[in-house]
């Protein structure tokens, strides 16, 4: 059990030394997961809001499906996106496989159900409060959706953080579509997997601790932002 303290000291050493390769890996992880969440949110948030506000055939079925897809294993998503982007697949000619873009796509697909489902719940709760007033003022479904998305922005920010957490912590999808190529598609989680399989547990642990610290820092930032917003805007 010396691995844990070894891991801690190794982690501190890496961070203090500002190891260039480590910084590249961390930067890539952040880039990929942030881009994935933003990309995914552009589609998933309006979809979630529409599911809450809209009234169309198949709404309930779609809701159940999206809730279910939250549980999609990352490897399965990775495999599906791989088949899509492979040269032998439909989007092969784009040559996206084994690039950070492929990783962004895979993670965007992975977090989309989560973003949509939580958005739906958040917007639904707000809609309950706003529905009559908005109908009274003559808002169309489209207008109501946009207004609710903006009005619940702080809760939605937390939703996006949840998506980001899921994205940056997963390894199954990015491993398959990225290939864990040194210097190109190697992110924190795939590096941890690699170092673990090489038996270098202290290093793997060190990276793991850095990853946890990073995610905690981002969440602390979000909490502070949310609390400040709550006080100022009610």
Partner 1 sequence: MHTIFPLTLTGIGFAPNEVPVLAGIDLRIEGGARTVILGANGAGKSVLMRVMHGLLKPTAGHILWNASESRPRAQGLVFQRPVMLRRSALANVAYGLKLAGVAYDRRSMQARAALERVGLAHLADRPARVLSGGEQQRVALARAWALEPRILFLDEPTASLDPTAARSVEQVIVDIHAAGATVVMTTHNLGQARRLADEIIFLHAGRITERTPAEEFFHRPHSTEAQTFLQGELP
Partner 2 sequence: MTIVRRSLLATLACLTLGTGPVWSADSFITVASTTSTEQSGLFGFLLPFFEKPSGIQVRVVALGTGQALDLARRGDADVVFVHDPAAEEKFMAEGNGVKRQEVMYNDFVLIGPKDDPASVAGGKDISVALKKIEASKSAFVSRGDKSGTHAAELRLWKIAGIDLDAGKGPWYRDTGSGMGPALNTAASMNAYILADRGTWLNFKNRQNLAIVVEGDKRLFNQYGVILVNPAKHPHVKQAAGQQFIDWILSETGQKAIADYKIGGEQLFFPNARR
Residues contributing to the site for partner 1 (CB under 8 A): 129-130, 132-133, 135-139, 143, 147, 151, 153, 232-234
222 binds partner 2 (CB under 8 A): no
Q: Are 120 and 49 in contact (CB under 8 A)?
A: yes
From partner 1, partner 2, none, interface partner of 138 (C-beta below 5 to 8 A by class): partner 1
CB of 227 to partner 1, least distance (A): 15
* 60-99 positions binding partner 2, by CB under 8 A: 86-89, 92-93, 95, 97-98
Output the six-digit token pair for 54.
């809209």
Alpha helices, H only, the chain: 3-17, 20-53, 59-69, 74-85, 100-136, 141-151, 153-169, 172-178, 188-197, 201-233
Residue 143, contacted partner among partner 2, partner 1, none, CB below 5-8 A by kind: partner 1
The C-alpha atoms of residue 132 and residue 142 are separated, in whole angstroms, by 16
142 binds, among partner 2, partner 1, none (CB under 5 to 8 A by kind): none
Q: In terms of Cα–Cα distance, which of 176, 189, 186, 181 is closest to 215?
A: 189
Cα separation, 94 vs 33, in Å, equals 21
Among 8, 15, 22, 30, binds partner 2 (CB under 8 A): 30
The contact set with partner 2 (CB under 8 A) reads 24, 27-28, 30-31, 34-35, 38, 86-89, 92-93, 95, 97-98, 100, 179-184, 194, 196-201, 232
């Amino acid at each position: 059990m010396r691995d844990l303290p070894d891991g801690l000291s190794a982690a501190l050493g890496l961070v203090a030394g500002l190891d260039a390769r480590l910084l590249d890996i961390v930067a890539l992880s952040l880039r990929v997961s942030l881009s994935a969440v933003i990309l995914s949110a552009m589609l998933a948030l309006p979809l979630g809001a529409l599911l809450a506000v809209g009234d169309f055939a198949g709404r309930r079925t779609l809701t159940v499906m999206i809730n279910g897809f939250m549980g999609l294993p990352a490897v399965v998503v990775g495999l599906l996106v791989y088949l899509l982007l492979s040269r032998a697949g439909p989007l092969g000619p784009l040559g996206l496989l084994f690039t950070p873009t492929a990783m962004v796509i895979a993670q965007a697909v992975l977090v989309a159900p989560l973003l949509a489902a939580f958005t739906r719940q958040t917007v639904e709760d707000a809609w309950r409060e706003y529905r009559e007033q908005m109908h009274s003022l003559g808002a169309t479904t489209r207008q109501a959706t946009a207004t609710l998305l903006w009005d619940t922005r702080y809760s939605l920010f937390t939703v996006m953080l949840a998506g980001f957490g899921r994205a940056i912590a997963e390894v199954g999808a990015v491993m398959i579509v990225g290939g864990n190529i040194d210097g190109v598609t190697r992110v924190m989680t795939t590096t941890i997997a690699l170092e673990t399989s090489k038996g270098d547990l202290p290093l793997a642990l060190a990276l793991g601790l850095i990853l946890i610290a990073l995610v905690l820092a981002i969440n602390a930032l979000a909490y502070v932002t949310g609390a400040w917003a709550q006080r100022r805007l009610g």
